[in-house]
Structure 1
Amino acid sequence: MRKITIKVLTKLPTKNVTNGLILILILFLYGIIGSHIIMGYNLIDSIYYSIITLATVGYGDLAPTTGLQKIFAISLALGGVATVAYVFNIILANFQERMSEYSKGVRKLKTITNMDGYYVLCGYGRVGKVVFQELKQRNQNVIIIEKDKEKCEDVEENESVVVINEDATEGDLITKLAGDKCQSVIISTGSDVTNLFIVLTIRETNPDAWIVSRCSKSENMSRLKRAGANKVVSPEVIGGKDLYFQSAKPHTLRVTVRHNTDEIYDEFKIISKHGCTLETIDYHLPGIETPLSRRINTKDLEDGKRYTEHLNAHPEQKEALDNLYKSVNNVHSHVISGPDMRTLDELMKDLEKQGEVIGKNLSNKEISEITRKELEI
């Protein structure tokens, strides 16, 4: 406890305390000069009388006798009490504030320690907010580093969200957070210089960290890549959602399957069971490299249930979907994001048990070759 107290006291803001000490010094000089002129004491006695009066000790060996002397003594005593009380009140208030901040810091550190894995988001501006919403929607653990407290007022902290109001370019905070438990560092500040500095800082001590950086000017993209960023994106071009998808790249799976519309719900149950998100569905027309893509962006099993019920209630739409599946020979790909690769591996095993899996993370060109061969048969 003594070490904590010393640490807090050494970080107290000194401006108000200094002003209080200056007031005490001015009052002390007032007492010395007044004691010499009004009380008629020599220098030593003037210092002595000022100290015991300011401290309200009053031994009685030196006492005012005239009305003017009594008024002077009263002003000196009251001024001393008020000023000393003011200074100690400032020290106590600042001490309590620092202790409160220290306590919050300890709680945040404990929350981070208890996280199985997390994303670090540097910068909570216009783009950072979009990225955060994407992460939050997928129930990811997020640590936001933003020095401007006002920008983070709308963020509700809990066991999966921690806000740190510090500058990511100062100290070793970012290098510590970008360790083994960090799934990705997303740098979304509006300054390319700041982003570059953060990338360099992380890469010095974390060669395996997955870093995705925002870039405002196209000419700086190559610099950020050379500095060590795995992905450099321009939100002005592709938007905040794509910044998230790039950060989730290590934990995204594209699985190509073959099944009919009757198996849609069973497949979605597997995805939801593992807490993963179905991002998009690509329908591969035979022999054509570029697929038809639909953005789904859901992990809620109820969404799949409602969709299935809707198809059953509308036969004409079910028939249209059946025709789409027939046109692609039931071949399509799902882009699925998950909390980690272990989860995606388990999901893959369940999908293989459920139906025919053509391949994992195949390119459009590879899938096109497969469908082209089927046309030749």
Structure 2
Amino acid sequence: MYSTLEQKYKRIQQELMAGAGALVLVLLIGTLWYWLVEGWSWQDAAYMTVITLATVGYGETHPLGSRGRLFTIGLILMGVINIGYIVNRFTEAIIEGYFQEGIRLRQQRRLMESLLGHYIICGFSRTGRQIAKEFRSESVAFVVIDADMESIQRAQTEGYIAFQGDATLDDTLLKVGVERAICIVAALPSDAENLYTVLSAKTLNPQIRAIARASTEEAVQKLQRGGADAVVSPYITGGKRMAAAALRPQILDFVDGMLSGTDRQLYMEEFLLEEMACPFVGQSLQMAKLRSQTGALVLAIRRSDGSLIGGPTGDTVLMSGDTLICMGTAEQLRSLNKILGPINSQQLRRPKNS
């Protein structure tokens, strides 16, 4: 499915090609008439056809009878109409910027084809816009998909890579490189659309992490069954946060500050341990001495089987596939990133306000 902009560009391109094809056909008809009917040579027939269509006012190459002059009048009319159509389409294309738009679309397509390990945001409503702001602040490469032209224009105005299309369709997801992406966020208004998007993304790229928005508890369950790795309900989450703000305000402010970087001091980050890249796999936390080397604190460890170890002790052994959830300053987390080795071939995201 092409976007509206692509459809308009392709339409004007097809119209110009059709006009050029019709002009070539008129040239061929005129040449064949003067050659076969009037009995002229190929060169004279082609020359007569060209000067007639160009309306340059030259005289007849050879004398013409009544039949030949009537045909020449018809040839002039066909040429004038055809050339007028081409000029009209070409002028419209220049005035409305179709050629510039075509260049921009090709540049955008090449840019999307070059994306690797990026994130995909489906839907640029209030939720999608906030996600995009967070991704930008984290220096994350991402692309926005939305079916609404106004939303796409707004995304482009804000400097985001945006593609107009239906995120529930495989063709749209393939155009934004879903097979090369590491995460897709389905933030569309409809729970059904989010479910279809997750199903399509998981089918095209089983390894992709899928985050989905849900409006109801029932939708949360269906999206989880559909393959979503995480489902967020703004209403449920918002209610829990409001309750936490009322009951444990200091804790909530502390955690929010680390997640968003608004306190400009402490941040939280996750690190995936790979056996071939991390030198500490098989060692205990005490032996690894991550805290003494970097100053960063390991808050929890998520095992590859999904089990979570909260507040790991010095005897906890680091294993391949573990995800370390750590807290520290921006510099401490950068130091930890260096000694742990590459993380899925990605650099540590730049913390906000650092």
TM-score, normalised by the number of residues in structure 1? 0.49
Q: Which residue of 2 aligns with 1:3?
A: none
Aligned pairs (5 A) from 1:106-185: 106-109=109-112, 111-113=114-116, 117-155=117-155, 161-174=160-173, 177-179=177-179, 182-185=181-184
C-alpha spacing 1:102/1:359, structure 2 compared with 1 (3 Å): closer
Cα shift at 1:226:
1.4
CA distance in 2, matches of 1:350, 1:188: 37
Aligned pairs (5 A) from 1:1-377: 11-13=10-12, 16=15, 56=55, 59=61, 61-62=63-64, 77=76, 80-87=79-86, 90=89, 93=93, 96=99, 99-101=102-104, 103-109=106-112, 111-113=114-116, 117-155=117-155, 161-174=160-173, 177-179=177-179, 182-238=181-237, 292-294=251-253, 295-296=256-257, 297-299=259-261, 303-304=264-265, 336-337=268-269, 341=272, 351-353=291-293, 357=297, 359-361=299-301
| Count of residues paired in the alignment | 254
- Aligned residue identity for 1:100: I
**Structure 1: unaligned runs, 5 residues or longer:** 1-7, 28-43, 243-283, 285-289, 305-333, 368-377
CA distance in 1, matches of 2:83, 2:157: 40
Cα shift at 1:129:
0.5
- Aligned residue identity for 1:196: L
CA distance in 2, matches of 1:204, 1:177: 13
3-state SS of 1:293 partner: helix
Q: Which residue of 2 aligns with 1:277?
A: none
- 1:184 and 1:210 in contact (8 A); partners too: yes
The structure number with the bigger radius of gyration is: 1
CA distance in 2, matches of 1:356, 1:101: 45
Cα shift at 1:184:
1.7
Cα shift at 1:174:
2.2
3-state SS of 2:182 partner: strand
Cα shift at 1:213:
1.0
**Partner deviation per Cα, 1:234-286 (whole Å, 9 max, x = no partner):** 234436xx9xxxxxxxxxxxxxxxxxxxxxxxxxxxxxxxxxxxxxxxxx9xx
- Aligned residue identity for 1:204: T
- 1:145 and 1:165 in contact (8 A); partners too: yes
- 1:121 and 1:144 in contact (8 A); partners too: yes
RMSD of Structure 2 on Structure 1 (CA) = 5.5
- Aligned residue identity for 2:268: I
Cα shift at 1:210:
1.0
C-alpha spacing 1:354/1:196, structure 2 compared with 1 (3 Å): closer
CA distance in 2, matches of 1:171, 1:364: 34
C-alpha spacing 1:366/1:230, structure 2 compared with 1 (3 Å): closer
CA distance in 1, matches of 2:165, 2:138: 26
CA distance in 1, matches of 2:218, 2:300: 35
- 2:143 and 2:162 in contact (8 A); partners too: yes
3-state SS of 2:85 partner: helix
Cα shift at 1:133:
1.1
Cα shift at 1:11:
4.7
- 1:122 and 1:187 in contact (8 A); partners too: yes
Cα shift at 1:144:
1.4
C-alpha spacing 1:60/1:99, structure 2 compared with 1 (3 Å): farther
- Aligned residue identity for 1:195: N
CA distance in 1, matches of 2:298, 2:103: 57
CA distance in 2, matches of 1:111, 1:19: 33
Q: Which residue of 2 aligns with 1:326?
A: none
- Aligned residue identity for 1:208: Q
Q: Which residue of 2 aligns with 1:33?
A: none
CA distance in 2, matches of 1:74, 1:171: 54
**Partner deviation per Cα, 1:147-199 (whole Å, 9 max, x = no partner):** 334213343589x952223332334452573345x332101111222222211
Cα shift at 1:215:
2.1
3-state SS of 2:201 partner: helix
- Aligned residue identity for 1:210: R
- 1:215 and 1:234 in contact (8 A); partners too: yes
CA distance in 1, matches of 2:10, 2:124: 26
**Partner deviation per Cα, 1:311-330 (whole Å, 9 max, x = no partner):** xxxxxxxxxxxxxxxxxxxx
- 1:179 and 1:206 in contact (8 A); partners too: yes
3-state SS of 1:229 partner: coil
Cα shift at 1:225:
1.6
